[in-house]
Amino acid sequence: MAIACITGASSGIGKEFATRLSKKGFDLILVARNKEALNQLAASLTCKCEIIPCDLSDMDACKKLGETLSHKKISMLINNAGFGDVGAFAETDIKKELSMIDVNIKALHILTKAVLPRMITHNHGYILNVASSAGLMAGGPFMATYYATKAYVTSMTSAIYEELREIHSNVHISMLCPGPVDTNFNDVANVRFALSGISAEYCVDYCLRQMSKGKLTIIPSKVMQLAMFGSKLMPRKLQLPITARQQRKKL
């Protein structure tokens, strides 16, 4: 039986991935801080679920989780856990930012590193790193740390993608780079999105279809696809004030 591990599985996109993959016949390893929410989710699914409560901002706990996962035959890893914050860099809370770096970067790095070698050995598997359209842009004034963490995710994922291609591996790695999605991300980041969001259901369905095709960069919104294409043609200094105007609307 194929096994998928999902971090941040208790709500939003992670919860939707769990629902979709359960219907596709996967057994699941569900990871999040909220044990009660994970148990409720597992009870609603028809597949076998292993619950692993874990605070991914705790590096000792994260490394322990990575060690556990490295010994399991995981067919799919979805690094979905992450959060953001909004405000001028000089004024935002350093404790929250460092926790964001731990979850958005370090945890994703540790868990990817934990499962990838075994996938390569078996020549099979999928890794999805949930990034953001923010990770494809020049930078994010008023969400500086969040944009920077997601740039790390897109850079690392792209590098691993090429390394796998060069050894002709059947292991695939992708990055999901949506714009706004209707989840509780807004509440955690304390933001109001300037653009209307897509549904988690649409985002996940689109993503799984593109993953199966081995696509590297997955952008489920047509609006964001056009925006990302336009950003490639625009100098960095011109991008930044445009992005700043959009982020100010979230304050």
- 202 tagged catalytic: no
Q: Are 180 and 195 in contact (CB under 8 A)?
A: yes
Q: Are 7 and 29 in contact (CB under 8 A)?
A: no
Question: What is the chain's length?
Answer: 251
**Other CB atoms closer than 10 Å to residue 229's CB: what's the count?**
10
Give, in degrees to the nearest 5, the angle at Cα 204 between 179 and 133.
20
Q: Can you tell me the distance from the alpha carbon of 68 to that of 65, in angstroms, rounded to the nearest whole number?
A: 5
Catalytic residue selected from 15, 126, 146, 147: 146
Strands 49-53 and 27-32: parallel
Catalytic residue selected from 126, 147, 150, 152: 150
Q: Are 16 and 203 in contact (CB under 8 A)?
A: yes
Beta strands in the chain (DSSP E): 3-7, 27-32, 49-53, 76-79, 125-130, 171-176, 217-218
Q: Are 73 and 125 in contact (CB under 8 A)?
A: no
Q: Are 1 and 27 in contact (CB under 8 A)?
A: yes
Q: 221: exposed, middle or buried (C-beta count within 10 Å: 0-12, 13-18, 19+)? A: buried
The amino acid that residue 39 corresponds to is N
Q: Can you tell me the distance from the alpha carbon of 143 to that of 162, in angstroms, rounded to the nearest whole number?
A: 29
- 150 tagged catalytic: yes
Residues annotated catalytic, as ranges: 146, 150
